[in-house]
């Protein structure tokens, strides 16, 4: 139950740093998901319980409208990391971010010597880029890791913190069904749910915000599916020309929803949703339903991407057929198919 000894020790070190800090920075990673946003907002509320002032910046991407109802979202500052004055802060707590590019991809991220950095993350692929790193890959959501850390810190659970942690856990676990989910997840959720007045509305306000263009994208993706490696791997692809015709912003496409849906086909063990986001730049989302045998973070890792065993991402700067063939041939040799 609760955090391991190692996490408890790290959590105590981090708390000591927080207590020394005067002004703390938090951010949302590029293309933020609810685990990123929920982590940052819940942490802001937690820090306030220690009398600390924290600023959450939106990061590289526009803040998604469907996350506006998350408690604390209205206080988010509309800047990315490269636009802020680092001298205004003495501590940066970097959440749900495996690599320094998840702080910003808009340019080279360099931390000023006066800015202490602490990463709290649950990605196996975390490179340990921060000054202090608490990385716990056994957690299926960063928000579940924060739940345990907040307990260690003696944070009083509030409706705001509960909602922000819940929504991150709900989403990053695919509604409590992905690998890593166990009794600890449900115990945390049970505790959080006591503080949330209306869980369905919290979820549905986020989920029922689809736009017609996204349905069109999904239709195009699903109609393009090809299978490889004896039917083990299925790949969908949407070219940039379709996005342009349909008025879809490349930054807004949700490839992970497509790959997750593709994985519902019984015999497809690895589902891949690809989209051309710029000429000859292909963004991939991978999902695996047999994550021990087909660990997709190993596949993306070999090609310069990252992620988790069951859910990973990759960007390749190659024309489509070449990019697809590279993914298929890498999978073939990696998984002995
Ligand atoms: Mn996460």
**Cα 122 to averaged position of ligand 1 atoms, centre (Å):** 7
Residues 299, 289: Cα–Cα separation, whole Å: 14
- Enter the pTM of the model: 0.89
Q: Are 114 and 90 in contact (CB under 8 A)?
A: yes
Half-sphere exposure of 42 (CA within 13 A, CB side): 33
Residues 77, 113: Cα–Cα separation, whole Å: 23
Q: What is the pLDDT of residue 168?
A: 98
**Cα 171 to averaged position of ligand 1 atoms, centre (Å):** 9
pLDDT band at residue 254 using 50, 70 and 90 as cut-offs: confident
Strand order from edge to edge, sheet including 311-316: 226-228, 233-238, 270-278, 281-288, 311-316, 306-307
Q: What is the pLDDT of residue 190?
A: 98
Q: What is the pLDDT of residue 251?
A: 80
Average pLDDT over residues 138-142: 96
Does residue 176 come out as left (phi exceeding 0), alpha (psi in the -120 to 50 range) or beta? left
Angle (nearest 5°) at CA 284 between 283 and 290: 170
**Cα 167 to averaged position of ligand 1 atoms, centre (Å):** 11
**Cα 141 to averaged position of ligand 1 atoms, centre (Å):** 5
Average pLDDT over residues 77-94: 98
**Cα 230 to averaged position of ligand 1 atoms, centre (Å):** 32
Tens of pLDDT along 260-301? Answer: 999 999 999 999 999 999 999 999 999 999 989 999 999 999
Q: What is the pLDDT of residue 209?
A: 86
**Cα 130 to averaged position of ligand 1 atoms, centre (Å):** 17
Average pLDDT over residues 93-112: 96
Tens of pLDDT along 180-216? Answer: 999 999 999 999 999 999 999 999 999 998 889 989 9
Task: Retrieve residue 296's tokens.
Answer: 């997709």
Q: What is the pLDDT of residue 167?
A: 98
Q: What is the pLDDT of residue 1?
A: 53
Residues of the chain above pLDDT 90, percent = 91
| E strand map for the chain | 23-27, 53-57, 91-95, 116-121, 132-135, 226-228, 233-238, 270-278, 281-288, 306-307, 311-316
**Cα 244 to averaged position of ligand 1 atoms, centre (Å):** 30
Residue closest to 16 by CA, chosen among 153, 154, 115? 153
**Cα 144 to averaged position of ligand 1 atoms, centre (Å):** 9
Average pLDDT over residues 116-127: 94
- How would you label 27-45 residue by residue, b for 16+ Cβ within 10 Å and e otherwise? bbbbbbbbbbbbbbbbbbb
Q: Are 135 and 122 in contact (CB under 8 A)?
A: yes
Tens of pLDDT along 291-306? Answer: 899 999 999 999 999 8
**Cα 148 to averaged position of ligand 1 atoms, centre (Å):** 15
- State the chain's mean pLDDT as an integer: 96
Q: Which residues surround ligand 1, an ion (CB under 5 A)?
A: 35, 96, 142, 172
Cα dihedral sign, 173-177-179-180: positive
Domains and CATH numbers, the chain: 5-207 (3.90.1640.10), 212-334 (3.10.310.30)
């Amino acid at each position: 139950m609760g955090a391991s000894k190692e996490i408890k020790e790290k959590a105590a070190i981090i708390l000591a740093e927080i207590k020394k800090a005067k002004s703390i920075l938090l951010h949302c990673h590029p293309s933020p998901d609810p685990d990123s946003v929920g982590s940052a907002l819940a942490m802001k509320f937690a820090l306030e319980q220690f009398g600390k002032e924290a600023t959450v910046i939106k990061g590289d991407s526009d803040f998604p409208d469907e996350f506006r109802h998350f408690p604390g979202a209205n206080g988010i500052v509309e800047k990315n990391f490269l636009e802020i004055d680092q001298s205004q802060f003495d501590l940066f707590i970097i959440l749900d971010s495996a690599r320094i590019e998840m702080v910003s991809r808009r340019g080279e991220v360099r931390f000023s010597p006066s800015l202490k950095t602490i990463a709290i993350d649950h990605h196996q692929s975390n490179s340990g880029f921060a000054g202090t790193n608490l990385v716990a890959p056994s957690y299926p959501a960063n928000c579940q890791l924060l739940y345990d850390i907040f307990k260690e810190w003696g944070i009083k659970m509030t409706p705001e913190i509960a909602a922000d942690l819940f929504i991150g856990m709900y989403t990053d676990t695919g509604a409590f069904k992905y690998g890593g989910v166990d009794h600890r997840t449900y115990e945390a959720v049970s505790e959080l749910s006591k503080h949330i007045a209306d869980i369905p509305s919290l979820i549905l306000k986020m989920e029922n915000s689809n736009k017609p263009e996204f349905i069109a994208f999904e239709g195009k993706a699903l109609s393009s599916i090809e299978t490889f490696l004896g039917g083990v791997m299925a790949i969908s692809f949407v070219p940039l020309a379709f996005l342009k015709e349909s008025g879809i912003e490349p930054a807004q496409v949700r490839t992970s929803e497509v790959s997750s849906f593709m994985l519902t086909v019984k015999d497809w063990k690895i589902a891949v949703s690809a989209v051309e986001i710029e000429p000859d730049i292909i963004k991939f989302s991978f999902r695996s339903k047999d994550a021990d045998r087909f660990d997709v973070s190993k596949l993306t890792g070999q090609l310069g991407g990252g992620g988790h065993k069951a859910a990973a991402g990759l960007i390749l700067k190659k024309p489509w057929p070449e990019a697809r063939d590279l993914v298929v041939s890498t999978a073939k040799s990696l998984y002995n198919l």
